[in-house]
Amino acid sequence: MFFLRFFIYTLKVAFVTGLLSACVPEPITVTEHPADEGARDGTSAKVVFIAGPDSHGAGEHEHTAGSKLLANALRARYSGISTVNVTGGWPENADVFEDARAIVIYCDGGRGHLINKHLSSFNQLVAEGVGVIALHYGVEVPKGSASADAMLAAIGGYFETDWSVNPHWNAEFTKLPDHPIAEGISPFSVQDEWYFNMRFQSNMKGVTPILSAIAPDSTMERRNGAHSGNETVRQLVAAKAPQVTAWAYERENGGRGFGFTGGHFHHNWQNDQQRNLLLNAIVWTMR
């Protein structure tokens, strides 16, 4: 009996310890990756990758690993680009953004979005013309909030609850536009959690769809809900209207933004077309 009680007690301690560990915030780290020595001749450009804490378990919402993969691929392609990887949240020191040409935000969204508590810093970057790329859940900000206004101004669109939807489906991108972001990219298909029916700028002003696909009827199998469906989007899917899952945005001040709703599954970054399209988008937003 003693050993049984001791065993149960040990399990309880381990369980509570695990819960406490899960509640401890991930420390914010900053890692700089300079441009190649031979490229530091005044033409170097800087990109800051901001990754929120990972979530959803292994292989999904791996913001840190995804950001590092894209940063490494960017430097491998362009020797004149330096990158900074911020993990665990918004950087505590604004000096991280000094001379940045673009920022890439890969994080959980909604009420937990990284910009919610840092709108002053975020809006200043947008005002200065710094490019903004938001990936997957990073395109969702609270409906009707100052963050929604900020994201709309930065990238031209965002995921709005009770309007946009987040089903898992195989998107077949059969045709790409004549745009620098799509240069060298062939048609491709990827199974992911592709959001669609974004809340865009009025009349799509400044917005150019980059990836569009016809969503299958299976995307509307769930009941109506904040993320699952509404009558408007159901009618669009029934009509086989192409759904925009990635877009480019040109601001009136000359700055640029890019929204990409895929990126739920980490392994999809191994798709050459998807990864290279993201690299093109980052460079395009840097002007």
User: What are the pLDDT tens digits along the chain (287 aa)?
Assistant: 444 444 444 444 343 334 333 444 668 999 999 998 655 444 579 999 999 999 888 899 999 999 999 999 999 999 999 999 999 999 999 999 999 999 999 999 999 999 999 999 999 999 999 999 999 999 999 999 999 999 999 999 999 999 999 999 999 999 999 999 999 999 999 999 999 999 999 999 999 999 999 999 999 999 999 999 999 999 999 999 999 999 999 999 999 999 999 999 999 999 999 999 999 999 999 98
Distance of CA 251 to the CA centre of its chain: 19
* Alpha carbon distance 115, 121 (integer Å): 8
The confidence score (pLDDT) of residue 130 equals 98
* Alpha carbon distance 19, 17 (integer Å): 5
The confidence score (pLDDT) of residue 149 equals 98
Describe the strand order of the beta sheet including 256-260 as a list of residue ranges: 29-33, 81-87, 45-51, 100-106, 131-135, 256-260, 242-250, 207-214
What string of DSSP letters covers the chain? Answer: -HHHHHHHHHHHHHHHHHHHHHHSPPPPEEEEEPPPGGG-SS--EEEEEEEPPP-SSTTBS-HHHHHHHHHHHHHHH-TTEEEEEEESSS-S-GGGGTTEEEEEEES--GGG-TTTT-HHHHHHHHHTT-EEEEEGGGGB--TTSHHHHHHHHHHSEEB-TTTSB---EEEEE----SSGGGTTPPPEEEEE---BS-EESGGGTTEEEEEEEEPPGGGG-SPSBTTTB-HHHHHHHHTT-EEEEEEEEE-TTS-EEEEE---SBGGGGG-HHHHHHHHHHHHHHT-
The confidence score (pLDDT) of residue 38 equals 53
The confidence score (pLDDT) of residue 57 equals 82
What is the domain partition of the chain in residue ranges?
A: 26-285
* Alpha carbon distance 270, 257 (integer Å): 23
Model-level pTM?
A: 0.90
The confidence score (pLDDT) of residue 8 equals 44
Per CATH, the number for 26-285 is: 3.40.50.880
The confidence score (pLDDT) of residue 143 equals 97
